[in-house]
Structure 1
Amino acid sequence: MSDRASHWKNVYTTKAENQVSWFQENPAISLRLLRDAKATPDSRVIDIGGGASRLVDALLEQGFRALSVLDISAAALDTAKKRLGTASADVDWIVADITAWTPTRTYDVWHDRAAFHFLTLPVDRDAYLDRLRAATAPGSQVIIGTFALDGPEKCSGLPVQRHDSKSLTVLLGPAFELVASDDEAHHTPWDAVQHFQFSRFRRA
């Protein structure tokens, strides 16, 4: 098991779902951005680094039928499966390191809240972007949420690479058009404030 996988296994086996800083009872900004991306119940949506996020719950409630959740931690995905019960059978759960994953299909919407900013090495960011390109097609929408430039420098004991829409636009390259960007002041379970940015792109 890689150091990265070991770290996240430890996080999700030693802390309750609502004891991590990124916990959201209601992923409102992600849901709004998915609406803005014109996602429908038939859209193929993948949540990168989705872990135990409640986004999948909300999308299932809205009738989405082609959902995938990818995370490096099987323990995180197990938390979500147990919470969803029998509804979890309607989701494609993918245990993988995004930098080493091999996509087997393309998606209409790629959603990532707080996975990309953990990739502090250029080689890992390049590997992520290779998977992004392989898993999207012209017209696909890409939503990436990271710590903003004035956000935390670390999370879960790990360094992060903070971004804004400009830095992400440069990294994704000309094949992806920036459509919209949003700021979010995320309140952790202990009411600290973390500044996030969300950027939405369309693949040309």
Structure 2
Amino acid sequence: MFNRKTHWQNIYQEKSASDVSWYQSEPKLSLELILRTQIAKDEAIIDIGGGASVLVDYLCNNNFTNLSVLDISENALATAKRRVGDLATQIEWIEADITQFKPPHQFSLWHERAVFHFLTEASDRQLYVNVLKNSLRAGGHLIIAAFAIGGATKCSGLDIVQYDSEKLIAELGEDFKLIAEKSEIHITPANKEQKFSYFYFTKKSVP
């Protein structure tokens, strides 16, 4: 039986963070969309599946002070902690499977690049959406990036689900309003092209 945690622990044990296909030296589009939200520097931001991503470094450099990084892999989080050095003590590190995550508090911004598209079972996607709704405050911001329609069909040896806005809205339900959609051609460390779509939503306030 497939074990998600074991899979990702092994990936980050066998490869350096800069060798995995999703590695970005600069998360330009994520940062652009986060800055577009204009949230205050002290509002709570969580990076889902952030692992060894350098997004948290860029957020620190932009003076955001209330940061959390969640990943299923302890190895990925350890890599990020070593990289950011002394700043690690100012960041909330969470080792968890997102489908089982119980938020310790609510967040103003949920960022996630390349996690949701790995959830090929409808039941796992529903668990993810339930956690998202419980974690994000009313009026909060949601940024999700996933493989685009016509892009990759597998990643890290696993099947994925491709998304456009219509397909993602159907998964998220009526609690979220689409604000923007962006496309990106990601160049992997192996110099291959991957089509990504980025979606920026806000969570509707309760009437």
TM-score scaled to structure 2, two decimals? 0.96
Aligned residue number for residue 73 of structure 1: 73
What does residue 164 of structure 2 align with?
Answer: 164
Counterpart for residue 198 of structure 1: 198
Aligned-pair distance for 1:40? Answer: 3.0
Distance 1:99 1:174 in 2: 20
Q: Does residue 82 of the first structure (1) align with residue 66 of the second (2)?
A: no
Which residue in the other structure is 2:102 paired with? 102
Return 24-33 or 35-44, whichever deviates more. 35-44
CA distance in 2, matches of 1:120, 1:195: 18
- Superposed displacement of residue 31, structure 1: 0.2
What is the deviation of 1:39? 2.8
**What is the aligned partner in structure 1 of residue 38 from structure 2?**
38
Matched, 1:12 2:12: yes
> What is the match of residue 52 of structure 2?
52
Equivalent in the alignment of 1:176: 176
Structure 1 window deviating more from structure 2 (169-178 vs 70-79): it is 169-178
Q: How many residues align?
A: 203
Within 1, Cα distance between the matches of 2:32 and 2:137?
Answer: 22
SS in 1 for 2:18: helix
Superposed CA offset, 1:95-146 (max 9, x none): 0000011112111100000011000000000000000000012110000000
| Secondary structure, aligned partner of 1:139 | strand
Residue ranges of structure 2 left out of the alignment (5+ in a row): none
The answer for the alignment partner of 2:26 in structure 1 is 26
Does 1:91 find its partner at 2:91?
yes
Structure 2 counterpart of 1:153: 153
For 2:145 and 2:118, the matched residues in 1 are separated by 11
In structure 2, distance between residues paired with 1:14 and 1:108 = 34
The CA distance in 2 between the partners of 1:63 and 1:86, in whole Å, is: 15
Q: Which amino acid aligns with 2:146?
A: T
If the length of structure 1 is used for normalisation, what is the TM-score? 0.98
Moved over 3 A (4+): none
1:43 positional shift? 1.8
Instruction: Report the 3-state secondary structure (helix = DSSP H, G, I; strand = E; otherwise coil) of the residue aligned with 2:13.
Output: helix
Which secondary structure state, in structure 2, belongs to the residue aligned with residue 17 of structure 1? coil
Deviation of 1:18 after TM superposition, in Å, equals 1.0
Give the AA of the match of 2:93.
Answer: W
RMSD of the TM alignment (CA)? 0.9
